[in-house]
Amino acid sequence: MTEQHPDTTHFGYETVPSEDKARRVRGVFDSVASNYDLMNDLMSGGLHRVWKRFTLGRTGLQPGQRALDVAGGTGDLAAGMSRQVGREGIVVLSDINNAMLQEGRRQLIDRGIVGNLRIVQADAEKLPFPDESFHCITIGFGLRNVTDKPAALASMARCLKPGGKLLVLEFSKPVVKPLQPLYDLYSFSVLPALGELVAKDRASYRYLAESIRMHPAQDELVKMMQAAGLEDCRYHNLAGGIVALHMGFRY
């Protein structure tokens, strides 16, 4: 990745003032919120649900525990964790984007998930929770949209209880070389066309494709997690590295 001046950051392939990225990302997700789940199904052929189930299988959550889903959008991971912690536990669904949270609230209520769920609008870089609050924290397909990724990782690490686990599910770098040209063709031709056809928004889905390319590779993200104070950091490649699940612990 290209080093950036501290006052600038990436918005896809574009270099923008750091203070402007959050506003522009908010505009993207305001636009896509109502079609977010449908587009996820179309873009991944439903595989995003498999990747999320894989993530949920590694939370280690027990009944009565507390969990946080950061940048949780429409709440797929939060819904799964709410079942894991049961009636005596608590799951917090957080997102910086109000439109996404409102869509998530609607869907979770429709699924009957209300009693042990809290919804909080929050910035991943400055989570408004006390130290050592959660047994598990997840962030699914959200870290690449954060302006200051080290700050977000440090904020999440701070909120973990000793022995707690952070799970980062995110698009990553394919490790199967023949996949790369096909993946590029899909990302920059098919994906924006789908966005235009279904969501009437080609530009937002072009940004999402570019943001994936600018996200740290697997080993680089491990180092960032270690720098945030997490230990025993590792990852699992999914779909040949197109997606990776990173995990780290606070001891």
Looking at the DSSP bridge assignments, the partners of residue 247 are 167, 234
Q: How many Cβ atoms sit within 10 Å of the Cβ of residue 46?
A: 10
Total domains in the fold of the chain = 1
pLDDT tens-place string over residues 84-114:
999 999 999 999 999 999 999 999 999 999 8
> Is 18 domain-assigned?
yes
> Is 162 domain-assigned?
yes
pLDDT tens-place string over residues 207-241:
888 999 999 999 999 999 999 999 999 999 999 99
> Is 181 domain-assigned?
no
Tell me the pLDDT band of 200, cut-offs 50, 70 and 90: confident
- Taking each continuous run of H as one helix and of E as one strand, the counts in the chain are 10, 9
Task: Bin 12: left if φ > 0, else alpha if -120 < ψ < 50, else beta.
Answer: left
pTM summary value: 0.91
Distance CA 219, CA 179 (A): 19
Structure-token pair, residue 224: 């960032």
> Is 200 domain-assigned?
no
Q: What average pLDDT is seen over the chain?
A: 92
> Is 199 domain-assigned?
no
The CATH number that applies at residue 102 is 3.40.50.150
Domain that holds residue 41: 8-176+205-249
Tell me the pLDDT band of 1, cut-offs 50, 70 and 90: very low
Distance CA 29, CA 109 (A): 21
Tell me the pLDDT band of 4, cut-offs 50, 70 and 90: very low
